[in-house]
Amino acid sequence: MKSLNSSVLGSTALLVLFLVLWQWGPGLLGMPEFVMPQLSRVAQESVVMWQSSGLLGHTLITAFEIIVGFALGALLGVMIGVSLGLSPSAEAMLSPYILALQIAPKVAFAPLFVMWLGYTIYPKILIAILIVFFPVMINVLSAIRTVDPDMINLVRTMNASRWQIFRLVEFPSAMAALFSGLRIASTLAVIGVTVGELVGGNQGLGFLLVDAEGQGNTAGVFVAIVMLTLIGVLAYGAVVWAEKRVLHYMPKAMLSTQ
């Protein structure tokens, strides 16, 4: 408990130091506002954007795209990861194509999706799905493949069916690896949606960022970046919260190493 309090105090002190440096550092270094605006200037701009540029609406749109893209990408990753983990022949057949899809730069797909689907939310969600899919899939696949065979044999001696073996042994054993992949995917989903909005968007925080950049409004750019960061932190925190609830039966030391 004492170490936890010390960690919280240390983290809070670093945050305060960062905010102090942001507020007074640019002035001390003689940086013009178009290069690095002060924290107070960014706060003022956020109020202006909230009132006149629909900051809340754009934030909610981006958050919705991230949630949907993350959920669908994670679901697809789990399904493919389990399927390949249970079928070595299917993995041998499909893994080259999945690897090629992962290696292909996701940014290159963004203009294509915009051409196909227009300036809607769907291209952003598709990019998020592509980015989220691979880390979830590979973690689940690896976990399914490394399940203790003695546990499987033990359940088989009890005349368990194939579905019971998966439900009672294989999938529970993969949960820790799944949440490790979800932690990574939660931040990648923010990146994917932002890329989609930067390439072809007329709504969302990425659109606000491009709009502020076009007007030379550096403070507005920082407002969009801060809001995207907050969404990413909340998404990561939600995954960690869910992990602790789902894996409550595992030792805390094991959870902290995932």
Looking at residue 257, its pLDDT comes to 39
* Segment (H or E) for 8: helix 2-28
Same domain, 91 and 193: yes
**218-237 per-position pLDDT tens digit:** 999 999 999 999 999 999 99
State whether 22 and 87 are in the same domain.
no
Together in a domain, 136 and 236: yes
- Assess contact for 102 and 134: CB atoms under 8 A: yes
Q: How far apart are CA 28 and CA 128, in angstroms?
A: 40
Q: What does the pLDDT read at residue 253?
A: 36
Q: How many domains does the chain have?
A: 2
pLDDT tens digit sequence for 120-135:
899 999 999 999 998 9
**Angle between helices 122-145 and 55-86 in degrees, nearest 10:** 30
* pLDDT of residue 182 exceeding 80: yes
Reply yes or no on whether the pLDDT at 256 is more than 50. no
Give CA separation, 65 vs 55, 61, 242, in Å.
16, 6, 20
Write out the residue range of the structural domain in which residue 15 sits. Answer: 1-31
221: left (phi over 0), alpha (psi -120 to 50) or beta: alpha
> Are 154 and 195 within one domain?
yes
Taking the model in full, what pTM does it have?
Answer: 0.85
237 in the same domain as 150: yes
DSSP string, 26-49: HHHTT--TTTS--HHHHHHHHHHH
Q: Map 174-230 to HEC letters.
A: HHHHHHHHHHHHHHHHHHHHHHHHHHHCCCCHHHHHHHHHHCCCHHHHHHHHHHHHH
For residues 126 and 180, membership in a common domain is answered with: yes
> In this predicted structure, what is the pLDDT of residue 151?
79
Instruction: For residue range 84-137, list pLDDT tens digits in order.
Output: 888 878 878 887 887 787 788 877 888 888 888 888 899 999 999 999 998 999
